[in-house]
Structure 1
Amino acid sequence: MTQTAERPAGEVHEVDLAITGMTCASCSARIERKLGRLEGVDAVVNLATEKATVRWTGPLTVADIVATVERTGYGAEPIGSSDPATAQRPRPDESVDSRTSERPRTDTFVDSRTPDDGSPAERAVAPVAHHQVTRQDDLRRRAVLAGALTLPVVVLAMVPGADVPAEPWVQLALATPVVLWAGWPFHRAAARNARHLASTMDTLVSLGVLAAWLSSVAVVLLGRAGTGMGAMGADASHLWFETATVVTTFLLVGRWMEARATDRTRDSLRGLLDLGAKDVAVLRTDAGSGATVEERVPVETLVVGDRFVVRPGEKVATDGTVRDGRSALDASLVTGESQPVEVGPGSEVTGGTVNSTGRLVVEATRVGSETTLAGIARLVERAQTSKAPVQRLADRVSAVFVPVVLALALLTFVGWWIGSGEAGRALEVAVSVLVIACPCALGLATPTALLVGTGRGARLGILIKGADVLEDTRRIDTVVLDKTGTVTSGEMTLVEVATVGRLPKDQALRAAAAVEAGSEHPVAQAVVTAARSRALAVPEATDFVALPGSGATARIKGTEVTVGRADLFAEVPREVATPSADGTTVWVGWDGTARASLTVADTVRRSSARAVRALDETGLVCYLLTGDHDRAALSVATAVGIPVGRVVADVRPEDKHAMVADLQKRGRVVAMVGDGVNDAAALAQADLGIAMGSGTDVAAEAADIVLLRSELPAVADAIDLSRVTLRTIRQNLGWAFGYNVAAIPLAVAGVLNPMVAGAAMALSSVLVVSNSLRLRRWTPRG
């Protein structure tokens, strides 16, 4: 492979790799360990998704990363590029969250870093999914042949009176294809790992099966084989062909069922990809007549600026802005929002939503990898590749588990041979130990549950950014709710204008609107909307300066006008000092004196009170946090059921961060829920940051969970789903650890024969995956 030029040492790079050849948790742990030894490299390898996410700094290239994986004994291919040497995605320097050294908190649900050559999520899933289907077919063929040949071997070995001429040779002929061809994946993987002085569960299987088969071959070739159940002569030795074939068959069937079940866990992510439109009616100008015509084209050919038509019943092809028409969009497939959203000229729409009624003309603003839907799929897929701390413990256990079992099997063989004087019996017990100890279920316990849980969440508009987030949700006991845009709708309406002296109210409103036109704050937009609704001529403002958390200034016809908090002015006259209406008040003035006050009111979301009750029932303590004055805050708190003692009003952005930090110092584990730029610092400081989907990209970037629904009950749903997913992971790990802890001593004691051991080991993996699949049926309460 051709290597790329060296890069600056401080630059952070990232690549996703499709990994082939992994069969158990020992494999993934080994790859992680090898990659982690490279300077500046942090790698996460997921067995269920058969993927690795590698971040590094320094002069390493993707070719170096791939070569390291291949030297470890596995295959690797960068996802989204045919040239591994150039497939890396450089990223700006990332800060590491203070709460964990493993998770950079820079993921955002709209991400444009991936090259725009089709859906990035499709490129991420396709290689793995294709490999999975191919593996399923191969395992099915091997399992079917093994089953067909194993049945007569078992009959000949264990059914009285089923003797045939030259029976030992018949068993040898039937068992050999099962062991050498059907069981070849086990032997090939074991040999590959042995070349690298490593061992995995395939080592255990291969040694056990080959030991039973080779000992039986030796007995046949030496002419010492007994036949049937009772035809053993004085010098005859027992054949173990039925052990070798039954174990191989059971494990192949288990692997096949496991592959099928694991593939089902990816359905949610692939379902997200299917939400998008396949083609679109684009408006073009006819070269001959100059008339505007519709041309149906594949959605992949859309570019920013194209205008396209969305008829009733059709999906919106990509993110865009409505330029003509009015309709109601069903966003339930994308965000989980149950109520249709009314849109008209100027409204932002999301690709994948369904047009319910009228005809719309939409101008594309994001296409390909930049769309919200592609970003959602990418974020979900990234979360599914991550690992919870509890899984890292399981991986470390698996890494040392296999060598310990090999030593234990050897000691068991020696001990039984010495104790019983029968090498055949000793071999049977040792093979049982090798087979029963395979840690398949351990490797699948976490990733399968995480795949299903995060995929289910995505379909409900809940984006969980990583496995460690699940641990955070289990610990939280306090929820801090931002008011505007979270508990309330965030849609402000001007309800009162008060002025000083003879200043006309319309003139004060015009001046305020001129300044606020440069701001995206909801209060500013309410002022601007009010001026437009009254058809006022808003003057042009220049030299706009935003004052975060306080207001803004701008110059109007040579005069510097200030709009914002009262403390921005040296003097606030009595006439405007105390607004009579409830809501959020800003003051407008110049020359250091406030000349008018403008009060806007926000409405409490109808579902907010229900959400607060749900959080209370979960055992969480709710606080209300807002930059509004006390009266507005207390009014909202009373409406949703938050006690007055848990309301903090009149806070700046840095105060929100400080309040979260103060609660943490008092021993609280805090979840912060917000939606604006001024919430980003608090979201990052909190033990769990939850961003409302109606908010800004900055808030989404700082959060651990992003809610695509704008309704507050989604917060309780996100916490419930996270806890259910974590509970499923713990159930899986409990079974996996418990199974091995209980079964190995029974095998060492000779209680379990190899056939029963093989069946139990295979079924344990299927049980773990099936338990994870139950999450697909999870539904929000209420």
Structure 2
Amino acid sequence: MPPSPACSLPDLPNPPLVRASGAPAAVAQDGCFHCGQPLPAAEPALHASIDGHEQSFCCGGCQALAQTLHAAGFGHLYGDQVRFARPIDEAARREAEPVWAAYDTDELRAQFVRPLDERRAEITLAPENIRCAACAWLIEQHLGSLPGVESVIANVATRRVMVRWRAAEQPVSALLAALAAIGYLAWPFEVSRSDRQDRHARRGLLMRMAVAMLGMMQVMMYAWPIYTHEASIDPGQLQLMRWASLLLTLPVVLYSASPIFAGAWRSLRQRHLGMDVPVALGVGAGFLASTVATLRGAGEVYFDSVTMFVAFLLLARYLELRVRQASRSGAEMLARQLPATCERLRTEGEASERVPVARLRAGDLIRVKAGEVVPADATVVAGASELDESMLTGESRPVPRGIGDPVLAGCFNTSSPLELRVAKVGAATRLAEIVAVLDRALAEKPRLATVADRVAGWFVAILLVLAALAGVVWWAWIDPSRALLVTVAVLVVSCPCALSLATPAALAAAGAALSRRGLLLTRGHALETLAGVTDVMLDKTGTLTQGRFMLAQTVVLGDASADACLQLAALMERSGEHPIARGIVEAAQARGLAGGTQAIDTVRNVPGQGLEAEVDGQRYRLGRREFVAALAASGSVGEAGGHARDSAAALAASQRSGATLVWLGNAAGVLAVFVLADAEREQSVQLLAELRSLGVTCHLVSGDTPETVGWWAGYFHIARHEGGVTPEGKREYVERLQRDGAVVLAVGDGINDAPVLAQAQVSIAIGSGAPLAQAGADAVLTHGRIAEVASALWMARRTRRVVRQNLGWAFTYNVIAIPLAATGYVTAWMAGIGMSVSSLLVVANAWRLLRAGKPGD
């Protein structure tokens, strides 16, 4: 799990920013000038003069492309602005290699590498210049070919690369070097680096957009007189205004639009029709045609359309970037909680120096003061305080923590200092597990997103064909002077970007909204499947109920008061670890009865029966009815018999089937009966009400006795229920529902419900004690507010509606806009505005999910 900036590389300088664009033309290169690949050794390399410098090429194709680009005025693409997938230069590699090697040390491996088993491991990398699907494909193919690498998933939306490999066969430094070899400088994911990259991306896009906006306004100053008074303007002045427009458009095309050309070039090199291809063709064709007309002094110029289109496109991309950064999974916010340093103690109470968190080890003693963040999973050894765990669990109220209680990395200490013994650090902490499952969910592509990407690819291919046909028709039969303008308009007006963004933007926003509520989606398909759920199968213990004994009632049978009996029972059970003992002690503590003054001696545990102890010289028994009654002077229930009959009526009135009865008595007879029973969760009734409002069918299936399950089913008004069911029986129950066509959501504790969680189409684990990374559920609720399960269903259905709206809008827009452009009714600048607005509408519609409320809002 990534640490904060100050502790990521404690003894090393910041990793260098390496230019991946290759050597300049004047410097002799080790590889092909165009692609950067090694020159062939078996045959002489090809040579050509580029900008007055002799350059070498690996093949005739690279030579021809380089000469063509330079002849067309695109020689700048071999400079610093656009980065081809080319190896970094040797000097930069020598500078980066020591830093790569540092990630192979045990200290930093513990921070970034997540072990999957004894041989396999997983790491998340953050390439600095990943741009499009072609980049992702190249990274996946190249890393996937390395020895020991089992899987590589590159995500363009989050700019992350998740690698699973056999750690003994490849060090981390080899993975980083392999990415640098194809032009993608990367580092293990680090929040601070991600933030810096985000700021750099926003600043760079703003600068390009500002240049484009200024160029657009200046060019329009020259274009407007031409549109309105061209006949009355002197030809010399017209030509002067065209030259001025060319000079003003040049920085827009060379600087502002450079990412568009770079993305299109990468797509073509990988034989993939990305979203930048038609845009680059439209901008390039319009600019080249206008330049030729300016040089000849005759013909139409479209500098105003080119600048306006680039400006509006960059505006749309900037807003899209801000939305994408706002709708991230929340992993960055979680990991940012970790401090850079902490105060480590040599022995309890003795302060030592502040050390980087990266150097903590299990067993270390640390002090966390009020107002500080816990740096690692630990156990309290001294002090008591309240911790804000909202970043991990979504629970807004601080929770009390005292000696012996566990605390989690990322929690905020609100009131008093704590001394902690470190239990887990780095990638082993619960915080790291949460980040890992979030990254895993983001890396997996849902079926809807995969289909949308495939459709978008075909759409671009069809669009190119339509644009070519429109240009040919206008050139041959309608108006040759407008053929190029119509072709550019068709290329520009289409909105493949909106089509490609329709699904992932909505899924990312919905996932972020749910993670902020403490529901972590650990599988990519979870949200899509939740939208179609028809039946919800609920476990009882640990899901609808708290799964622990609580004192429900005290039935007094002797002369002592209920409080006196409870205080005596808690005194006898205060050192017990049995769930029944904890239930009695907690009830006494809640009523302020835990501190009795009686002297207790010779506590004896009788297995299967209960406890016997001497309190103030008198013997008492606590446990089963027969065990307590045997202590009576007559050796039988005696006087207590009548009380037992009274207690039976009182217990029947308690309406708690399946409750556990704990009897307390002495030689004089039975004193009291404690009724301990499971208690419902705080939001169980709310959850079931919201599920019914969503129209799903609820099933209560539990391993408890049929009588107990039947009582709880009646209490919760659940018509379909079954008790005494084994874990395998639960799986078969779900299988029967699925055979009838049901889409089942299984909700359980994630441990003994593993078979049913695996069988259901989608599953949610409630506050699982198992490591989150190993949980078999498709989603994990990190707190006890189980009403969020219904919120997840509601959010999934709303997300499905948003996705359908986005796809419907993208298709409708293109069906209307493309014919209008092909028939000449839409000019290039109008097409640029239409395409940008279309993308913005799709992103804004998805953005609404970030602020979505709850069912019934």
TM-score (norm 2): 0.67
CA distance in 1, matches of 2:173, 2:341: 37
Residue 260 in structure 1 maps to residue 310 in structure 2: no
CA distance in 2, matches of 1:523, 1:698: 29
CA distance in 1, matches of 2:129, 2:417: 51
- Deviations along 1:11-66, whole A, 9 cap, x unmatched? 76655443565555576578768989999965544332123435579999689988
Q: Find the residue that maps to 1:712 and give its secondary structure.
A: coil
Q: In the alignment, which of 618, 627, 649 is matched to residue 703 of structure 2?
A: 627
CA distance in 2, matches of 1:418, 1:285: 89
Give yes or no for contact 1:213–1:241 (8 Å, CA) kept in 2: yes
Give yes or no for contact 1:679–1:699 (8 Å, CA) kept in 2: no
CA distance in 1, matches of 2:401, 2:806: 45
Instruction: Report the equivalent of 2:126.
Output: 18
Alignment of 1:488-637 (within 5 A): 488-493=545-550, 582-583=657-658, 601-637=677-713
Instruction: Report the equivalent of 2:45.
Output: none
| Change in CA separation of 1:632 and 1:215 when aligned onto 2, cut-off 3 Å | same
Q: In the alignment, which of 349, 353, 356 is matched to residue 411 of structure 2?
A: 353
Q: Find the residue that maps to 1:487 and give its secondary structure.
A: coil
Note the C-alpha offset of 1:409: 1.3
Identity of aligned pairs, percent? 36
Q: In the alignment, which of 360, 364, 376 is matched to residue 318 of structure 1?
A: 376
User: Which stretch has the larger CA shift, 617-626 or 123-132?
Assistant: 123-132
Instruction: Report the equivalent of 1:50.
Output: 159
Instruction: Report the equivalent of 1:89.
Output: none
Give yes or no for contact 1:622–1:642 (8 Å, CA) kept in 2: yes
Instruction: Report the equivalent of 1:99.
Output: none
Give yes or no for contact 2:749–2:766 (8 Å, CA) kept in 1: yes
| Change in CA separation of 1:696 and 1:216 when aligned onto 2, cut-off 3 Å | closer
| Change in CA separation of 1:535 and 1:179 when aligned onto 2, cut-off 3 Å | farther
Instruction: Report the equivalent of 2:313.
Output: 251
Note the C-alpha offset of 1:441: 2.0
- Deviations along 1:389-436, whole A, 9 cap, x unmatched? 1110111122333232222211111011112142x3011110011112
| Change in CA separation of 1:524 and 1:124 when aligned onto 2, cut-off 3 Å | farther
- Deviations along 1:642-669, whole A, 9 cap, x unmatched? 23xx221122222222222222223222
CA-atom RMSD, angstroms?
A: 4.5
Instruction: Report the equivalent of 1:107.
Output: none
Residue 270 in structure 1 maps to residue 332 in structure 2: yes
User: Which stretch has the larger CA shift, 160-169 or 391-400?
Assistant: 160-169
Give yes or no for contact 1:25–1:439 (8 Å, CA) kept in 2: no
| Change in CA separation of 1:400 and 1:68 when aligned onto 2, cut-off 3 Å | farther
Q: In the alignment, which of 675, 696, 705 is matched to residue 770 of structure 2?
A: 696
Q: In the alignment, which of 493, 516, 523 is matched to residue 436 of structure 1?
A: 493
Could you tell me which amino acid in structure 1 is paired with residue 515 of structure 2? A
Note the C-alpha offset of 1:77: 4.7
Q: In the alignment, which of 435, 442, 446 is matched to residue 503 of structure 2?
A: 446
CA distance in 2, matches of 1:295, 1:57: 38
| Change in CA separation of 1:338 and 1:623 when aligned onto 2, cut-off 3 Å | farther
Note the C-alpha offset of 1:464: 0.8
Could you tell me which amino acid in structure 1 is paired with residue 324 of structure 2? T
Give yes or no for contact 2:744–2:761 (8 Å, CA) kept in 1: yes
Note the C-alpha offset of 1:370: 1.9
Give yes or no for contact 1:36–1:43 (8 Å, CA) kept in 2: yes
Q: In the alignment, which of 438, 462, 473 is matched to residue 519 of structure 2?
A: 462
Instruction: Report the equivalent of 2:442.
Output: 384
- Deviations along 1:255-274, whole A, 9 cap, x unmatched? 23322332222384332233
Give yes or no for contact 2:338–2:373 (8 Å, CA) kept in 1: yes
Residue 181 in structure 1 maps to residue 255 in structure 2: yes
CA distance in 1, matches of 2:362, 2:682: 37
Unpaired runs of 5+ in structure 2?
Answer: 1-92, 102-117, 555-568, 595-599, 609-647, 663-673
| Change in CA separation of 1:317 and 1:14 when aligned onto 2, cut-off 3 Å | closer
Give yes or no for contact 1:312–1:355 (8 Å, CA) kept in 2: yes
Residue 731 in structure 1 maps to residue 783 in structure 2: no
Instruction: Report the equivalent of 1:647.
Output: 721
Q: Larger relative contact order (C-alpha < 8 A, sep ≥ 6)?
A: 1
Instruction: Report the equivalent of 1:662.
Output: 736
| Change in CA separation of 1:465 and 1:152 when aligned onto 2, cut-off 3 Å | same
Alignment of 1:387-402 (within 5 A): 387-402=445-460
Give yes or no for contact 2:344–2:352 (8 Å, CA) kept in 1: yes
Q: In the alignment, which of 286, 291, 301 is matched to residue 239 of structure 1?
A: 301
Could you tell me which amino acid in structure 1 is paired with residue 450 of structure 2? R
- Deviations along 1:336-367, whole A, 9 cap, x unmatched? 22454343332222233344555543322222
Could you tell me which amino acid in structure 2 is paired with residue 489 of structure 1? Q
Alignment of 1:170-249 (within 5 A): 170-224=244-298, 237-249=299-311
Instruction: Report the equivalent of 1:501.
Output: none
CA distance in 1, matches of 2:601, 2:269: 80
Instruction: Report the equivalent of 1:101.
Output: none
Instruction: Report the equivalent of 1:93.
Output: none
Paired residue total? 663
Alignment of 1:27-42 (within 5 A): none
Q: In the alignment, which of 466, 484, 487 is matched to residue 544 of structure 2?
A: 487
Q: Find the residue that maps to 2:780 and give its secondary structure.
A: strand
Could you tell me which amino acid in structure 2 is paired with residue 449 of structure 1? A
Give yes or no for contact 1:266–1:452 (8 Å, CA) kept in 2: yes
Note the C-alpha offset of 1:139: 2.2
Could you tell me which amino acid in structure 2 is paired with residue 324 of structure 1? A
Give yes or no for contact 1:50–1:128 (8 Å, CA) kept in 2: no
TM-score (norm 1): 0.73
| Change in CA separation of 1:248 and 1:293 when aligned onto 2, cut-off 3 Å | closer
Residue 672 in structure 1 maps to residue 746 in structure 2: yes
Could you tell me which amino acid in structure 1 is paired with residue 407 of structure 2? V
- Deviations along 1:106-144, whole A, 9 cap, x unmatched? xxxxxxxxxxxxxxxxx2555554444323222222221
Give yes or no for contact 2:519–2:788 (8 Å, CA) kept in 1: yes
Could you tell me which amino acid in structure 2 is paired with residue 145 of structure 1? V
Could you tell me which amino acid in structure 1 is paired with residue 757 of structure 2? L
Note the C-alpha offset of 1:172: 2.2
Could you tell me which amino acid in structure 2 is paired with residue 413 of structure 1? G
CA distance in 2, matches of 1:535, 1:264: 63
Unpaired runs of 5+ in structure 1?
Answer: 5-9, 81-122, 225-236, 498-508, 542-550, 552-577, 588-597
User: Which stretch has the larger CA shift, 166-175 or 718-727?
Assistant: 718-727
Q: Find the residue that maps to 2:162 and give its secondary structure.
A: strand
Note the C-alpha offset of 1:442: 2.5
Could you tell me which amino acid in structure 2 is paired with residue 401 of structure 1? F
Q: Find the residue that maps to 1:486 and give its secondary structure.
A: coil
